[in-house]
């Protein structure tokens, strides 16, 4: 996220994370993520599934396993989704020695867009190249297209380098549809074996600058060495994108 966005946030208190994401400190018991020892194997390609995070509980009715959607899954036919890759152009977002946020999230966003289109959705990407798009334009796309959902994709950064994992942000007064998608995203991220944070609330411009349902996904922390190393691999980005597609598909059902 950008300092422009920070300026757009109306309510205090705010804490600036390393990538410039205005991270609103919520006095909720679910905000802190569990801190686990960093995985140490430098040659690790795919991490073992982490234990379930205590901050996130899947519904008791969750099936034990669910088959991958068939190629003929058209459950999003007629749905309009705006896929927003954060940052771009002169705004790199967060950085790590493995890559910049703007590059990582564009690749994830392209994979998400492709997956949603395979399920029949009409997808609009706010950017499909290394360009800077004003936040207002990103938000306006959701209204202009009458989107069923805007999903903004980012990678986080924090001074605490142990902070890690996949998280979802929704507006403070998020509508029911946004909450449902956020919950489905967390469930699918857990199913995909991603380490989890939780659902947070903040009035980011891309969440409140329009009247459509919206979520902002933080795919991991570039300030955390293990997250940054994983996000530098196409396999992991595909896994993250797959979880986002599955979550959107289920959340919009």
Rounded least distance, CB 19 to Zn ion, Å: 5
End-to-end C-alpha distance for the chain, whole angstroms? 29
Rounded least distance, CB 85 to Zn ion, Å: 10
Based on CB atoms, which residue is closest to Zn ion, 19 or 208?
19
Cα-based distances in Å from 239 to 115, 138, 219: 12, 25, 10
Q: Cα-flanking dihedrals φ and ψ of residue 209, to 5°?
A: -85, 15
Based on CB atoms, which residue is closest to Zn ion, 186 or 206?
206
Rounded least distance, CB 1 to Zn ion, Å: 5
- From 248, 234, 232, 237, select the one nearest 168 (Cα to Cα): 248
Counted residue by residue, the chain has a size of 253
Rounded least distance, CB 39 to Zn ion, Å: 24
Based on CB atoms, which residue is closest to Zn ion, 115 or 220?
220
Binder to Zn ion among 154, 205, 229, 237 (CB under 5 A)? 154
Contact 221, 227 (CB under 8 A): yes
Interface segment toward Zn ion; rule CB under 5 A; list 127-135, 140-148, 152-160, 172-180: 152-160
DSSP lists the bridge partners of residue 194 as none
The CA distance from 60 to 56, in Å, is: 12
CA 1: distance to chain centroid? 12
Rounded least distance, CB 220 to Zn ion, Å: 11
Q: Where do we find the tokens 């395979």?
A: 118
Binding characters for Zn ion, 10-29, by CB under 5 A (x = yes): ---------x----------
Rounded least distance, CB 152 to Zn ion, Å: 9
Rounded least distance, CB 157 to Zn ion, Å: 8
The CA distance from 122 to 144, in Å, is: 14
Binding characters for Zn ion, 60-99, by CB under 5 A (x = yes): --------------------------x------x------
The CA distance from 118 to 110, in Å, is: 12
Q: Is residue 1 a contact residue for Zn ion (CB under 5 A)?
A: yes
Q: Total number of residues binding Zn ion (CB under 5 A)?
A: 5
Based on CB atoms, which residue is closest to Zn ion, 117 or 132?
132
Q: Is residue 138 a contact residue for Zn ion (CB under 5 A)?
A: no
Going through 59-142 in order, the beta strands assigned E by DSSP cover 80-85, 95-96, 99-100, 122-125
Based on CB atoms, which residue is closest to Zn ion, 20 or 119?
20
Residues that bind Zn ion (CB under 5 A): 1, 19, 86, 93, 154
């Amino acid at each position: 996220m950008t300092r422009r966005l920070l300026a757009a946030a109306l309510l205090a208190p705010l804490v600036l994370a390393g990538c410039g994401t205005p991270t609103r400190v919520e006095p909720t018991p679910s905000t802190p993520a569990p801190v686990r020892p960093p995985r140490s194997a430098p040659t690790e390609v795919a991490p073992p599934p982490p234990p379930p995070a205590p901050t996130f509980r899947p519904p008791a009715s969750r099936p034990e396993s669910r088959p991958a959607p068939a190629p003929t899954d058209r459950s999003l036919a007629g749905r309009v989704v705006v896929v927003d890759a954060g940052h771009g152009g002169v705004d790199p977002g967060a950085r790590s020695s493995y890559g910049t946020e703007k590059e990582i999230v564009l690749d994830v966003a392209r994979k998400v867009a492709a997956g949603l289109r395979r399920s029949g959705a009409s997808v609009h990407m706010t950017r499909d190249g290394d360009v800077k798009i004003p936040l207002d334009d990103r938000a306006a796309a959701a209204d202009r297209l009458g989107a069923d959902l805007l999903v903004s994709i980012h990678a986080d950064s924090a001074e605490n380098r142990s902070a890690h994992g996949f998280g979802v942000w929704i507006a403070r007064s998020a509508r029911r549809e946004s909450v449902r998608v956020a919950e489905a995203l967390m469930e699918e991220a857990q199913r995909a074996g991603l380490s989890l944070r939780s659902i947070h609330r903040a009035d980011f411009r891309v969440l409140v600058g329009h009247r459509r349902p919206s979520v902002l996904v933080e795919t991991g922390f570039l300030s955390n060495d293990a997250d940054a190393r994983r996000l530098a691999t196409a396999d992991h980005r595909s896994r993250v994108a797959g979880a986002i597609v599955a979550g959107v598909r289920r959340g919009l059902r």
